[in-house]
Amino acid sequence: MATIEERVRKLVDDNLEVDGQPIGPKLELDTHLGEAGVSSVDFVAFMKVVAQDFGVEMSEGDCVDLVTLRALIEYLEKAGA
Partner 1 sequence: MPFMRTPAAEPWWSPFRTIGNAEVFHVDLTVNAAREASAYAWMDESEHAKAARYVFPITRRQYTLLRGALRRLLCERLSCDNADLTFETEEYGKPYAVVRGTPAEIQFNMSDSGRHGLIALATHGRIGIDVEERSDKRDLDGLSETVFGVDEQAAMASAVGQVKVERFYRLWTVKEALIKALGTGLRLDVSTFQVPAALLHGDPSAVFRFPHLPAFRWWVEDLGTADFAAAIAHEMAPEAEPAVSPGAPAVRGEQRQA
Contact residues toward partner 1 (CB under 8 A) are 18-19, 21, 23, 26-27, 31-32, 35-37, 39-45, 48, 59-61, 63-64
CB of 29 vs partner 1, minimal distance in Å? 13
State whether residue 6 is helix, strand or coil.
helix
**First and final CA of the chain: distance in angstroms?**
13
| Burial class, 71, CB count within 10 angstroms (exposed 0-12 / middle 13-18 / buried 19+) | middle
Question: Closer CB to partner 1, residue 3 or residue 52?
Answer: 52
Task: At 18, give phi and psi (nearest 5°).
Answer: -125, 120
Question: Closer CB to partner 1, residue 23 or residue 73?
Answer: 23
Question: Closer CB to partner 1, residue 3 or residue 64?
Answer: 64
